[in-house]
Every structure is written in C-alpha cells, then in structure tokens.
Amino acid sequence: MSKLFRAVIMGPPGSGKGTISERIAQSFGLQHLSSGDFLRENIAANTEAGVLAKTYIEKRLLVPDHVMTRLLLPRLEEMTRHSWILDGFPRTLAQAEALSRACELDVVISLNIPLETLKERLRHRWIHPASGRVYNLCFNPPRMQGVDDISGEPLIQHEDDRPEALVARLRHYKDVAKPVIDLYKAKNILHTFSDTDTDRIWPHISSLLNTKIRTDQSSAQRASTN
C-alpha cells in the first residue's frame, strides 16, 4: 500500500501556482486542492464560513486566518485517503501552524519569480470571476477574446493585477510569507525553484517529486511486507 503524499505550493501572485499544481495532479495522481475554489464553493453554498468570507471580500479585505482555517481544515480532514497538492493555503504563519496541527506535509514548493516577469504575466491575465478560471493572452488565451471558454460569460481583469498595484501586493506577500517559509525551512521540507518560465521550472519540480513519491511508496511497501 502506498503512503499518502501531501504537498503545499507557495508563490507570489502570477507565479504559476495553479499551472504547476495542475501538472503535478495530472503527472502524479495527486488531487489539486485550491483555496480559491473552496472559497467560491462555500460562498455559493452560503455556508457560515462562506458568508463570513464574502463580507471581507466585498470590502476588498483579506479573509482573516480564522475564517480561512474554518473553510479549509474540515475539507482536508475529509481527504484522509487521498494524496494532494494544496494551492493558496497557508498564506500566513497562523494558517501554517493550524495546518501543521491538522496534518503532516511531505514537501513545500516555493516559486521564486522575478518581479518583471510577474508584472508581464499579470498584465495579460484575465479571470472568469464565478469559476476562478484564469487565462493569459500570451500563453493561455480564451478561444474568443474577453469571453470564458466554458460559460461564455465576460472575463475581467483585477485592479490588483495592474502594474501600479502589483508592487504593493508583492511587498505584502514577502512580508507575510517569510515566517511561513522559515517554518518549512526549519522542518527541512522546503524546496525553492527560481526562473522566469514555468516550462523550465517544471522538470526540476517533476524530478523532485519523482524522487520523493517513489521513495515514500517504496518505504510503505517494505513496511507492509514486514
């Protein structure tokens, strides 16, 4: 029996967390868990935590740690038989500590992308608000400009993705992410990847996970035969 494998991916806005997570999910059979998807699902279902989260989002405020953990941790507790890659959580030290109490992580992937690359990516990023589907006019454009491929509804560009707002967002990300990164570095599970291109980063991440997942599965198989 194979050992379950749990991983987290971190990175600033526009770093490619969703793209990398999807590749990991497809290549290694992990489930891609997105904090953004969980938020949208809870808001659509009018759960208590979803209603609370919506009040912050409508005011353009960050959803507080205690609300995010109420949204995410119950879902993770349901995933006892699944290996997964978690995208968008934890963002803060309080969230990371809550996650550590709930489960043990095998790997944390941190994406380190140059500022100019992030600016260029986000300048061309358009989003379908209801689903969270992301398009990029340079490398992942919608079939019809300005329109979501699946629903046919209009795409939007977040004001926060515009260059003048991006520097402040990145400064905030670095300040908040540093203690999280330090925590995972101390646990010896942090792996940082730096480049300007997702396609150049991917082979290194794939190689790391091939080693980690195969090693874990071999250990589990040996244990089951003893």
Q: Would you mind telling me the total number of residues written for the chain in this entry?
A: 226
| Known binding-site positions for a ribonucleoside 5'-triphosphate | 14-19, 125, 134-135, 198
Handedness of CA 39, 86, 93, 76 (dihedral sign): positive
23-87-50 Cα angle (round to 5)? 135
Looking at this protein, which amino acid is placed at residue 184? Y
Return d(Cα 155, Cα 178) in angstroms, integer: 33
3-state secondary structure of 148: coil
Binding residues: 14-19, 35, 40, 61-63, 88-91, 95, 125, 134-135, 169, 198
181: CB partners within 8 A, 6+ apart: 10, 110, 190
Distances (CA, A) of 45 to 39, 71, 77, 106: 10, 12, 19, 32
Could you list the residues known to form a binding site for AMP, using ranges.
35, 40, 61-63, 88-91, 95, 169
